[in-house]
Structure 1
Amino acid sequence: MSDRKQLHLAAFIYTGQASQSWRHPLINVHQSLDINYYIDYAQLAEKYKFDTLFLADNAGFPVKGDPLAKHYWSVSTFEPATMFSAIAARTERIGLVYTASVSDNEPNNLARQLASLDHISGGRAGWNIVTTQGPAAKNMQVPADEAGEAKYRRARAFYDVTAALWDSFEDDALLRDKESGIYVDLDKVHAPRIDNGYYVAEQPLRVERPIQGYPVIAQAGTSPEGMAFGGAVADLIYCANYSIADGQKTYRAIKANAIAAGRHPDDVKVLTGAAVIWGETQAEAERKLNEVSRLWPIEVALQNLGIDFEGADIDGPFPETYRSTMSKGRAAAIANFARSNGLTIRETAERCSIGLGHRPLVGTTKSIADDFEAWLDAGATDGFAVIQPWVIHGLRDFCEHVVPELQRRGLFRREYEGRTLREHLGVKRPQNQHVRRQAVAAAE
């Protein structure tokens, strides 16, 4: 292993809600419900030693009443825990992180799904906590106008219950002693007894503690409230930045929030999104970009930016004022990118929508590796969430050309050194909270 700081890499396993990649001649239009496609994708990423897969998911139909939904690949997709359980059976090392919203789920059920996936996979599960409201939010009595601090209070309450449920069993609670006939030491099984104003939990979870203690906790909010929450509970934070300077600012803020929460800054890894298109030459890479971006109806590309331009001329300069319709941080990053490169609104949409609003990185083996190295060395990120507008074909290009160059430079692993996702990321396995309290009491 190189002495240099190592990159962490996540592979986006699905290109997102408004993806138009399905229109390309190379793409099988049935792939969104072809489990063998996802298994092939996962096995390819595992062969090239990615830390984890990442699935961005929302339980709701793309956008209620959205006339553009007729274009979306994502109107019919797998439920993540089910899909990743199938992938877990056909892979051995790669992590399995999926998105589940606190506004669209119930803690006991989600805790059990994630704990089960962690056991099924041998310790590779991860949960990306989001606050997005989906079809079950009303049933969960989540206010439709809940925002800002209120959203993250709910998220923390949900997380606290979920963590307590994962800690229902101490690590050595299951005796499984055939001679005595005792299967479990009930003194080491704990009922949560939680009523925090949002959720009630009164029974132990019906599955023993996950192999990793808790599945890896991922988070993607870069608002002040989001970063404070992520700094307190997350092992992995995804962010969207378009420049090293912006990346450094976000990176320092995330690490500072971890310290403020009483954690070590290395307890939280930062991954920056990058939509990568590779070519033998820059001209070939640009041709590939144009080939995929022209598949997007302009109205879909504009909507996918998450910015309301309020009637501005799309062939005019990117405006100084606009309204974010999704992530404020991502909208600001896109705006800075557009202005610094002199792009019109249309050009911005064509270039940025293919990567779910993340930074497009279009280039050769050398230029892409140079870019990743520069961000890492500048302290702007711990790694990258690699988004593939060309789906598995793009992932194969990246794996076969860029990954070997990163390995040659000593920036990325040649072999996995551990088996769990926490081991890949170098983040701690959390101690059971009941054991921790017992230790504190014994020391007093």
Structure 2
Amino acid sequence: MAVKAPKQLHLAAFIYSGQVSQIWRHPDIHAHESLDVDYYILYAQLAEQAKFDTLFLADGASFPSGPLSKSFWSVSAFEPATLFSAIAARTEHIGLVYTASVSDNEPTHVARQLASLDHISHGRAGWNVVTTRGPGSQNLGVPLEESSNSAVKYARAKAFLNAVTTLWDSFEDDALPRDKNSGTFVDLDKVHTPDIDDGLYRVNQPLRVERPIQGYPVIAQAGTSPEGIAFGGSSADLIYCANYSIEDGQKTFRALKDAASAAGRNPDHLVILTGVAVIWGETQEEAERRLHEVSSLWPIEIGIQNLGIDFGDADIDSPFPEDYAVGSNSKSGMSSKGRAAAIASFALANKLTIRQTAERCSIGLGHRPLVGTTQSIADDLQTWLEAEATDGFAVIQPRLIDGLRDFNTHIIPELARRGLFRSEYEGRTLRENLGVSRPGNRYVLNKSS
């Protein structure tokens, strides 16, 4: 009987210059890297050398607020499509997934940006669809009636995504023969005019760029509310999650796979990645020292506020309280009730003090910290994968490029040795490397049905 090959991890490199951390204060860090394109290109090239599936870039239109806004690098950041176009020219294989909110954009603009990036990168673009509320709509001059209600937000996201994918289908795949002998550049019978007027968006012209190489750029999503799970299960190729325990990861994993099946999709074509903030050391003691080096740059009171938990007058060096209360005191926007409860569960399971919890959970944008050696980190990632708590990880590097180099040098070879990670890219496009299908053109499918 043939031995079944182990399941392979998918890895995304969170391309990150510490915009909402305090790592820029470290004496060895060049504080201008948040607006240094060469930094991002080098980061991307290192991730590609390690054979990461994709880069992932978080973004939003809102100007940061709160007590640390003066210390955030994110007050000045590149527009993602522009940055990734520069990176695309200096890389060959790694995916390029960036965030664009339906509240801060309009469909035709997003569709053209992403189609252009997909052609520039020869099929490596991806879009993280988010529903964040922010001032972006006012900045664009678009009168949107915003709501914090999840059902309303996801209804808008569904309509926005439908408009964008309809625009991507404007051209059939073979609509541009570019036949020099006949003089036919475009077959107009294979160019379709969208007819969308749904009360939210009006689209009545084909997109000014032919169909993306991948059919659609990879669709990513990050919401895990009931509405978010239904939306992601029906529409996304890639899901980013924040889970602190294998049990929570398994629940999210199963809910998303079931949602994909309920939508008539192959659940294996929905790739789930869990966020993890990795700090490596030759020994556990060295890794803990590096953790402290990064976390000590945060004012401890801000780190505690970011947990989103009300500790009252408790001594911060006392054990994490079992009777904690989820509060509304997060000042950075990095916390939510669900995230706060997950952090509390993590702290109690690991017998941490309030201070230790804040130190660990301030380093990775609210994602689970993983501090350890080559063996312990690889063991952890393998355990989550084999327990079907995730398909892979969105890896955040609190130590920036130095952390990525550590991960490439120590963790990637160990994962490859265990048969858990690729030695070469399987395909040319991001969809091929993720193992997700290329969508057909709706107009062609309608002709054949």
Q: Same fold by TM (over 0.5)?
A: yes
Distance in 1, matches of 2:112 and 2:68, equals 36
Change (3 A) 1:308 1:104: farther
| Aligned with residue 259 of structure 2, among 243, 251, 257 | 257
Give me the whole-angstrom Cα distance separating, in 1, the residues matched to 2:305 and 2:431.
36
* Aligned AA (1:370): D
Rounded Cα–Cα distance in structure 1 between residues aligned with 2:17 and 2:340: 19
CA contact (8 A) 2:277 2:396 kept: yes
Tell me the distance in 2 between the aligned counterparts of 1:237 and 1:161: 21
Kindly state the Cα deviation for residue 41 of structure 1 after the two structures are TM-superposed. Answer: 0.3
- Give, in angstroms, the shift of residue 328 of structure 1: 3.6
Corresponding pairs, count: 436
**Partner SS state of residue 275, structure 1:** strand
Contact (CA 8 Å) 1:94, 1:124: kept in 2 or not? yes
The structural deviation recorded for 1:436 is 0.8
Shift of the alpha carbon at 1:327?
A: 3.6
User: How far is 1:300 from its partner?
Assistant: 3.3
Structure-1 separation of matches of 2:230 and 2:149? 15
1:384 aligned onto 2:393: yes
Structure 1: stretches of 5+ with no match in the other structure: none
Equivalent residue, structure 2, for 1:282 = 284
Tell me if 1:247 matches 2:256: no
**d(CA) in 1 for partners of 2:142, 2:346:** 38
**Separation in 2, partners of 1:269, 1:87:** 24
Distance 1:333 1:430 in 2: 35
| C-alpha distance in structure 1 between counterparts of 2:130 and 2:236, whole Å | 12
Contact conserved, 2:309 with 2:325, CA < 8 A, in 1? no
1:419 pairs with one of 402, 406, 428: 428
Amino acid at match of 2:240: Y
How many Å separate the matches in 1 of 2:5 and 2:188? 46
More displaced 10-residue stretch of structure 1: 145-154 or 87-96 = 145-154
Specify the alignment match of 1:322 in structure 2.
326
1:64-86 C-alpha deviation (Å, 9 max, x unpaired) = xx232011111111110000000
Alignment of 1:349-368 (within 5 A): 349-368=358-377
- Aligned partners of 1:128 and 1:220 also within 8 Å: yes
Q: Are positions 1:394 and 2:403 aligned together?
A: yes
SS in 2 for 1:393: helix
Q: Given residue 383 of structure 1, which amino acid in structure 2 is its aligned partner?
A: G
Deviation, 1:323, is: 3.2
CA contact (8 A) 1:418 1:424 kept: yes
Asked whether the 8 Å contact 2:9–2:420 carries over to 1, the reply is yes
Give 3-state SS (helix, strand or coil) of 1:384's partner. Answer: strand
User: Are residues 1:408 and 2:417 paired?
Assistant: yes
Residue of structure 1 in register with 2:343 after alignment: 334
Residue in structure 1 matched with residue 98 of structure 2 by the alignment? 98
Partner of 1:209: 211
Is the contact between residue 304 and residue 356 of structure 1 (CA under 8 Å) also seen in structure 2? no
Q: Which moved more, 1:164-173 or 1:188-197?
A: 188-197
Query: What's the CA shift string for 1:146-181, capped at 9, x where partnerless?
Result: 321111000101000000000000000011111211
Alignment check: 8 A CA contact 2:19 2:34 kept: no
Contact in 2 for aligned 1:314/1:344 (Cα 8 Å): no
Moved more, 109-118 or 340-349: 340-349
- Bigger CA drift: 115-124 or 146-155? 146-155
The answer for the alignment partner of 2:49 in structure 1 is 47
Which range moves more in the overlay, 177-186 or 40-49? Answer: 177-186
The answer (yes or no) to whether the contact 2:147–2:153 under 8 Å persists in 1 is no
Structure 2 residue ranges without an equivalent (≥5): none
Match of 1:432 in 2: 441
| C-alpha contact (below 8 Å) 1:18/1:304 kept by paired residues | no
Indicate how the Cα distance of structure 1 residues 113 and 336 shifts in structure 2: closer, same or farther if over 3 A, else same.
same
- Indicate how the Cα distance of structure 1 residues 184 and 304 shifts in structure 2: closer, same or farther if over 3 A, else same: farther
Deviation at 1:353, TM superposition (A): 1.2
- For the 8 Å contact 1:16–1:56, the answer to whether it is kept is no
CA-based RMSD: 1.6
Query: Aligned pair 1:164/2:173, yes or no?
Result: no
* Partners of 1:223 and 1:329 within 8 A in 2: no
What is the alpha-carbon distance in structure 1 between the residues aligned to residue 306 and residue 86 of structure 2?
30
Partner of 2:117 in structure 1? 117
Q: Distance in 2 between matches of 1:263 and 1:235?
A: 10
Q: In the superposition, relative to structure 1, how do residues 113 and 32 fare at CA in structure 2: closer, same or farther (>3 Å)? A: same
Q: Which moved more, 1:158-167 or 1:345-354?
A: 345-354
2: CA distance between counterparts of 1:327 and 1:104?
21
The CA distance in 2 between the partners of 1:216 and 1:236, in whole Å, is: 7
- Give the Cα–Cα distance (whole angstroms) in 2 for the partners of residues 310 and 365 of structure 1: 35
Deviations 1:95-140 (A, max 9, x none): 0000110010000001100000000000000000111123222333
Look up the equivalent residue of 2:426 and give its one-letter code: E
Greater displacement, 28-37 / 8-17:
8-17
Distance of aligned partners of 1:313 and 1:254 in 2 relative to their CA distance in 1, 3 Å threshold: same
Residues 259-278 of structure 1: per-residue CA shift (max 9 Å, x gap): 11111111100001110000
C-alpha contact (below 8 Å) 2:18/2:400 kept by paired residues: no
Counterpart of 2:197 in structure 1 is 195
Deviation, structure 1 residue 142: 3.0
1:328-356 residue CA offsets vs partner (Å, 9 max, x unmatched): 43222112112222334332221111011
Identify if the C-alpha distance between structure 1 residues 98 and 304 changes in structure 2 by more than 3 Å, giving closer, same or farther.
Answer: farther
Aligned to 2:314: 313
Q: Aligned partners of 1:153 and 1:140: how far apart in 2?
A: 18
Give, in whole Å, the separation in 2 of the partners of 1:190 and 1:331.
47
CA shift for structure 1 position 144: 4.0
Task: Percent identity, please.
Answer: 69
